[in-house]
Amino acid sequence: MTQTTLPPVEKTQPVSAPGGTTSDRSKSERKLGWLLAGPALLVMLLVTAYPIAQAVYDSLFDFRLTDPDNRSFTGLSNYAVILSDWLWWRSLLVTGFITLVTVAVELVLGFALAMVMAKALSTIRPVLRAAILIPYAVITVVSAFAWQFAFDIQTGFVNSWFGWLPGIGEDTDWFGGTWTSLLVICLAEIWKTTPFISLLLLAGLAQVPEVLQEAAKVDGATWWQRMRKVTLPNMKAAIMVALLFRTLDAFRVFDSIFIMTGGANATESVSFLAYRQTISRLEIGLGSAVSVLLFLAVVFIAMSFIKGFKVDLSQSRGEG
C-alpha cells in the first residue's frame, strides 16, 4: 500500500486570462491584495524589522546604559566575546535540550489529545476541548510559579505524594541540581503548550479527506495502516506548522527559567543570557549581540524546517 494523498490542487488561472497574459482583473486583484495586506506589512516592519535593525546596530558598540557618553564602536568584538565564551555554548546546548525534549513529548501528547478531541462524542466535545485548552490560557509566569510551588522542598506536595517512587524523598531538592531543575522546567513547558500543538494538529486532522479514510477501510486497511498511510501523510503540512511554531517558541524559553531557578545550576537559556547582559548588566551592546545571535538561530531553525519538510507553507492554509 502506498501513501495516499489527494493530488495537489491545480493552480487555476482566471478564466478571463487566456494565453497567460495578466488581465485587468488579476491586476486589480493584485492591487487589492497589496492594499489589504499593506497596512499589516507596514505594522510588521515597524514592530519587528525596526527593533531587529536597532539591535544589530547596537551590537556593534560598547554601550552601557548608565554611561552613554562613553559609547564606542567596537565592530564585531561583542560577537567574538560571546562566541569564545563557554557560557554561550552551554546555554545553547541547554536551550537545544529543552527544545528537543519538550517539542518531542508535546508532539506525541498533542497528537493523542487531538485524536481524542476529534473522535469524542459531540455532546462532550466542547467541554473536552475547553478543558484541554485551559493550560494554554494560563500565563506562563503563573504556570511557572505553580510548578515551582508544587516541587518546592518546603511548600510543595510532589515530594510527599510521590515519595514512594525511587529517588524521590522528603528531602529531594528539585531546584538544587541541573537535571532535576531541567526536568521541572520541561514538565511546566510541556503542560502549558501541549494544548497549542494539539489544537494545530486537530485542524490538520479535520483536513484529512473522509473519502480517503473510507476508501482505505473498504480496501481492508487496519487502524494503524490508515493512520500511517492516510492520516499522517495528509497532515504533513499541519504537523510541520505545529512543529515549527512550537520549536521557535521553545527555543526562546525564558519565563520558567527566570521564575524557577533564576539561571542557577547551569539552566540558563539563550534568552536568559540576553536578559542578563542587557537588563541586569545594562550592557546594551553585548546584550544586543546575544539577541542577534538568538535571532539568527531562530531563522536557521525556521529555514531548516521549511527545507527539511519540503512543504509549501501556503498549502497548509489551503491555498493553491
Partner 1 sequence: MLASTLAACGSDGGGVPTLTWYTNPDSGGQAEIAARCTEDAGGRYVIETAVLPREASQQREQLIRRLAANDASIDIMSLDPPFIPEFAEAGFLAPVPEDVAERVTEDVVDSAVEGSTWDDELVAVPFWANTQLLWYRNSVAEAAGLDMTQPVTWDQIVQAAQEQQVQVGVQGIRAEALTVWFNALIESAGGSIIAENSTDPSAIELGLTSEAGVRAAEVMQTIATSGTAGPALSTANEDSTATAFESPEGGFNVNYPFVYPRALAAVEAGTMEASVPEDYGWAIYPRVDADTPAAPPYGGINLGVGAFSQYPDLAYEATECITSTENQAYYFVTNGNPASDTAVYDDPEVLEQFPMAPTIRDSLELAAPRPQTPYYSEVSGGIQRVYHPPSSVDPQETPEAATDLITAVLRKEQLL
Q: Which residues bind partner 1 (CB under 8 A)?
A: 62, 65-68, 81-82, 85, 87-88, 153-154, 170-171, 173, 175-176, 261-265, 273, 276-277, 279-283, 286, 290
Contact 273, 91 (CB under 8 A): yes
Joined together, the cell numbers standing for residue 181 give 531543575
In the complex with partner 1, the residue whose CB is nearer, 24 or 170, is 170
CB of residue 54 vs partner 1: minimum separation in angstroms?
15
CB of residue 272 vs partner 1: minimum separation in angstroms?
11
In the complex with partner 1, the residue whose CB is nearer, 148 or 194, is 148
- 279-304 exposure pattern, b = at least 16 Cβ within 10 A, e = fewer: eeeebbbbbbbbbbbbeebbeebeee
Rounded Cα gap, residues 198 and 117, in angstroms: 9
Rounded Cα gap, residues 252 and 247, in angstroms: 9
CB of residue 154 vs partner 1: minimum separation in angstroms?
6
Contact 91, 251 (CB under 8 A): no
Angle (nearest 5°) at CA 305 between 301 and 307: 120
In the complex with partner 1, the residue whose CB is nearer, 117 or 273, is 273
In the complex with partner 1, the residue whose CB is nearer, 238 or 289, is 289
CB of residue 255 vs partner 1: minimum separation in angstroms?
14
In the complex with partner 1, the residue whose CB is nearer, 102 or 159, is 159
CB of residue 53 vs partner 1: minimum separation in angstroms?
20
Joined together, the cell numbers standing for residue 268 give 540558563
